[in-house]
Amino acid sequence: MAVKNAVKSAVKEKVISKDFKEYIRDVNPDVGLDETIKRLTPEKIEKTIKAVIGGRSSRIKAVMNTCIHCGLCAEACQWYLSNDKDPTYAPVAKMRMTIWEMIKRNGKVDAEFIKQCARIVFTECNICHRCSMYCPYGLDITFIIGMVRRICFLLGVIPQRQLDQAQAHIVTLNQVWLSQNDWLDVLQWQEEEVGADFKDLRVPIDRDGAEVMWLPLGAEPKTGTYHIERTAKIMYAAGVNWTLPSKDVWDSSSMSMFVRDFVTMQRIVRGLYDNAARLRIKKMVLTE
Amino acid sequence: MAISISNTQELAIPEKLKNCDWDTKEKLIADINEWKKKFTSVRELVTSNDGEKIATAVRNQDKRFTTCVNGESWEETFERIYSLKFNPDNQLISLVFRDYEWAVAVDHEIWEEKFDYLWNLTLSPDGKSIAVNTRTGEMTSGVCLNGKPWENTFPEVRDLTISPDGKRTACHVQIKKRADLDIHAFMEGIWTVAVDGNPWEKSFLTVWGAVFSDDSQHVASVAMTDMSKYTIDVDGTPWDNVFGAAWEPIFKPGGSDVIAPVQTPQGWTIALNGKPIWNNFSQVWRQIYSTDGQKLAAVVAVDVGKWTLAVDGTPWNTVFNQMVLTPVFSPDGKKIAVVVKNNNKWTIAVDGNPWYESFDNIWDPVFSPAGDNVAAKAEKNGKYVIVVDGKIGKKGYDSLWNPVFSPDGSKLLIRCIDHDKYYRRVIPLNEI
């Protein structure tokens, strides 16, 4: 009961931004935000912000100098609409409370500010690009949000699950930390499972010159193994000459994209194409 | 179902090829259709380098697997058989699984060492050494080289590279256990390279692309040192310089110098032991030295979507808008050829000149021993063909493996499937 009450009171507790008094949110503990900011120093924050923003590219200037704060972007945002039109959820407010403030203060912001930025750009924006469609000037607001995400990524301040998946991609090039042995073992096991019911139904690995290479999402071999079985049945019924790669990269997702980890993004795409080229397949089929 | 093949690691050993039969014009080695009648499943076919053998894993009526070589099946059966490949002595190497244990099989001999899982079956360049990644019952991973497992195992290992002399192995290894969702473990840097089971002292956020030097004494790898910093680590010591990104390194032949593509604020270039040596490009990768180490080539993008090859830093004049794959030097290092893709058509470019003919698919170029001819397997209009110096062979096949030149360069060994029959054909170049 005590635990229940503690949870209840924690949920009710609010946090008020010291930088923007109108930004009031429920307390939402997350080690990816609460713990990681302890590693930050003012110097590291300033250096990182300046490295990302650099000489303030024309793309940033275009957004900053052209925005007339009309607020039309707000009507595009599902976060704004689903929070009783709270203006702190408007895309323009998200820019104002993050990157504009970083620029205004020349990168001299504290760790709590970075935590607040991370909360805004990772948990209150889906980078869906709708705001840019509503903007009368077509300003690329999502690009700005992406830059803030990159600053947070470089500082290691990202909600735990997103950070975990981004780290998984860096290390394993899939989003679920799947080992190379588990990837292959699952494919072989699924071939056994499905092969019992059909004559010569395959989950073929590294078939040279196949028409199609299927690249699943990381979760499929990890927790949705039946997807592999079903895909094999579809390919069998359709008579498709298909294959899966034995080597990295096989996961067609990219959590790295959502945190703007540019190098891992390249590694993922390059790895998919390397496999396609190695096996000389003709088409890549991706889950989504 | 059509016949499917596996294009495994090619081990063209000149001495072995000298002893091949270069006189018999055609041999019918196996009727694959007979195999299909006999077995309930015939898996991807592999051939020996000299073309005398063809093999695959087959499933019997009792749903158990065995290997079939030139139509002769092994009496031993297994629950799974994977990763089949021939070594230059025409022995069939495979990974076999029975009674919850994996082992390596060399022809009909099975290694005594058994493991919970085996993968990344790798042969040394001379084909004499066999290495494989291992997973133990204690849920740790390592390597087994020629039947001898690493003394150290790790929570996880990824990738496997074997030294040119076949005596050493290296992997990317996780040196400390990591709990699910433990985002702090990553920040500690728990990945490094282990050589012969011994991890480097220094560890990193991640590592990849480990490679041995020619003399098998050194190992280099990409290392991620910070969220946006990458460098090359050689024998456990990182370069002094860090970069925004780096691709897989290689050693200069005959020494311990290391080169790798790196991203600087000015663009991508090639770095030698940490110092940029080329001009900048939009991208640089797939670098390769000529055998004598005198020439260095790499795939470069001179602008977005404009791919070509640069030799010693000078790009070809011809650019391709889709892909340029890993280049191949002629044995004497004087010529270089590479597969290119432009406007959805594949071909091969030699010294900057793409062949006139284009293809639906084309495989890596093969130089004649003297370097004066280039041959390749290609696909056009639903048939596989042999192409020599851009000229398409007369005959189309149902399946093909890469062509092999005779030691004097006058003939080609063609390993082909024609109407479900596997033939070994020897054809003079002027009759292709």
- Please report the domains of chain A, with CATH numbers, ordered by start residue: 2-158 (1.10.1060), 173-286 (no CATH)
Q: Strand, coil or helix: what is B217?
A: coil
In chain A, which residues have their Cβ closer than 8 Å to the Cβ of B245? 262-263, 266
In chain B, which residues have their Cβ closer than 8 Å to the Cβ of A246? 119
**Which residue does chain A place closest to B180, by CA atoms?**
A164
Between positions 267 and 296 of B, the ones with CB within 8 A of A are 285
> Looking only at Cα atoms, what is the longest distance across chain A?
68
**Is B228 inside a domain boundary?**
yes
Q: What type of residue is A29?
A: P
**Which pLDDT score, from 0 to 100, does residue A8 have?**
58
**Is B153 inside a domain boundary?**
yes
**Which pLDDT score, from 0 to 100, does residue A3 have?**
56
Between positions 61 and 90 of A, the ones with CB within 8 A of B are none
**Is B233 inside a domain boundary?**
yes
In chain A, which residues have their Cβ closer than 8 Å to the Cβ of B141? 179, 181
A209 touches chain B (CB under 8 A): yes
Contact between residue A147 and residue A52 where contact means Cβ atoms under 8 Å apart:
yes
| Torsion angle defined by CA atoms of residues B317, B321, B325 and B327, in that order, rounded to the nearest 10 degrees | -10
A46 touches chain B (CB under 8 A): no
Contact between residue B120 and residue B135 where contact means Cβ atoms under 8 Å apart:
no
Q: What type of residue is A241?
A: N
Give the 3-state DSSP-derived string for A51-104, with helices as H, strands as E and coil as C: HHHCCCCHHHHHHHHHCCCCCHHHHHCHHHHCCCCCHHHCHHHHHHCCHHHHHH
* Interface contact flag, A209 B5, Cβ < 8 Å: yes
CA distance A179 to A101: 42
Contact between residue B352 and residue B368 where contact means Cβ atoms under 8 Å apart:
no
pLDDT in tens, A115-163: 999 999 999 999 999 999 999 999 999 999 999 999 999 999 999 999 9
DSSP string, B37-83: HHSSEE--BEE-TTSS-EEEEEE-TTS-EEEEETTEEPS--BSEEEE
**Which residue does chain A place closest to B58, by CA atoms?**
A200
pLDDT in tens, A24-44: 999 999 999 999 999 999 999
CA distance B75 to B84: 17
* Interface contact flag, B186 A171, Cβ < 8 Å: yes
Contact between residue B328 and residue B337 where contact means Cβ atoms under 8 Å apart:
yes
Packed helices A141-155 and A111-123: angle between N→C axes, nearest 10 degrees:
130
Rounded to 5 degrees, what are φ and ψ at B287? -75, 150
**Option in B59, B184, B361 nearest A209 (CB):** B361
CA distance B342 to B335: 21
**Is B73 inside a domain boundary?**
no
In chain B, which residues have their Cβ closer than 8 Å to the Cβ of A198? none
**Which pLDDT score, from 0 to 100, does residue B14 have?**
75
Nearest CA distance, A6 vs chain B (angstrom): 24
**Is B187 inside a domain boundary?**
yes
User: Residue A226: how many CB atoms within 10 A of its CB?
Assistant: 12
* Interface contact flag, B224 A160, Cβ < 8 Å: no
Please state the separation of Cα A7 from the chain's center in Å.
28
Contact between residue B148 and residue B135 where contact means Cβ atoms under 8 Å apart:
no
**Which pLDDT score, from 0 to 100, does residue A224 have?**
94
Contact between residue A190 and residue A225 where contact means Cβ atoms under 8 Å apart:
yes
Contact between residue B104 and residue B121 where contact means Cβ atoms under 8 Å apart:
yes
Q: Which residues of chain B have pLDDT under 50?
A: none
Domain span at residue B161 reads 123-240
In chain A, which residues have their Cβ closer than 8 Å to the Cβ of B181? 160-161, 164
CA distance B210 to B204: 14
CA distance A39 to A86: 32
CA distance A217 to B116: 26
**Option in B41, B120, B361 nearest A200 (CB):** B41
Structural domains of chain B, count: 1
CA distance B60 to B39: 5
CA distance A59 to B129: 56
User: Residue B388: how many CB atoms within 10 A of its CB?
Assistant: 20
In chain B, which residues have their Cβ closer than 8 Å to the Cβ of A232? none
CA distance A288 to B23: 54
**Which pLDDT score, from 0 to 100, does residue A105 have?**
95
* Interface contact flag, A32 B183, Cβ < 8 Å: yes
**Is B232 inside a domain boundary?**
yes
B37 touches chain A (CB under 8 A): no
CA distance B432 to B411: 9
In 3D, which of A70, A160, A88 has the Cα closest to residue A124?
Answer: A88
Rounded to 5 degrees, what are φ and ψ at B267? 140, -170
* Interface contact flag, B379 A263, Cβ < 8 Å: no
CA distance B160 to B154: 14
| Torsion angle defined by CA atoms of residues A97, A255, B244 and A154, in that order, rounded to the nearest 10 degrees | 40
Contact between residue B132 and residue B95 where contact means Cβ atoms under 8 Å apart:
yes
| pLDDT of A231 strictly over 60 | yes
Rounded to 5 degrees, what are φ and ψ at B291? -55, -35
* Interface contact flag, B187 A156, Cβ < 8 Å: yes
**Which pLDDT score, from 0 to 100, does residue A7 have?**
57
CA distance A245 to A253: 15
Instruction: Classify the C-alpha dihedral B109-B132-A245-B11 as positive or negative.
Output: negative
Nearest CA distance, B153 vs chain A (angstrom): 14
CA distance B167 to B162: 8
**Which pLDDT score, from 0 to 100, does residue A86 have?**
97
| pLDDT of A58 strictly over 90 | no
CA distance B218 to B226: 24
**Is B160 inside a domain boundary?**
yes
Between positions 89 and 108 of B, the ones with CB within 8 A of A are none
Mean pLDDT, chain A, integer:
93
pLDDT in tens, A181-213: 999 999 999 999 887 778 789 999 999 999 999
B304 touches chain A (CB under 8 A): no
In chain B, which residues have their Cβ closer than 8 Å to the Cβ of A55? none
A210 touches chain B (CB under 8 A): yes
Nearest CA distance, B228 vs chain A (angstrom): 7
A171 touches chain B (CB under 8 A): yes
**Which pLDDT score, from 0 to 100, does residue B178 have?**
96
* Interface contact flag, B5 A207, Cβ < 8 Å: yes
**Which pLDDT score, from 0 to 100, does residue A194 have?**
85
**Is B382 inside a domain boundary?**
no
Which helix (H) or strand (E) is B35 found in, with range? helix B32-38
CA distance B176 to B178: 6
CA distance B137 to B271: 43
- The two beta strands, A212-215 and B156-162, are unpaired
* Interface contact flag, A208 B7, Cβ < 8 Å: yes
Provide the percentage of residues in chain A whose pLDDT is more than 70. Answer: 95
User: Residue A9: how many CB atoms within 10 A of its CB?
Assistant: 10
DSSP string, B159-209: EEEE-TTSS-EEEEEE-S---TT-HHHHHH--EEEEETTEE-SS-BSEEEE
Please state the pTM of the whole predicted model. Answer: 0.95
Q: Which of A57, A169, A171 to mutate to test the interface with B (most CBs of B within 10 A)?
A: A171
Q: Strand, coil or helix: what is A112?
A: helix
In 3D, which of B370, B404, B429 has the Cα closest to residue B17?
Answer: B404
In chain B, which residues have their Cβ closer than 8 Å to the Cβ of A283? none
- The two beta strands, B336-342 and B323-324, are antiparallel
Contact between residue A222 and residue A176 where contact means Cβ atoms under 8 Å apart:
yes
| Torsion angle defined by CA atoms of residues B250, B127, B20 and B374, in that order, rounded to the nearest 10 degrees | -20
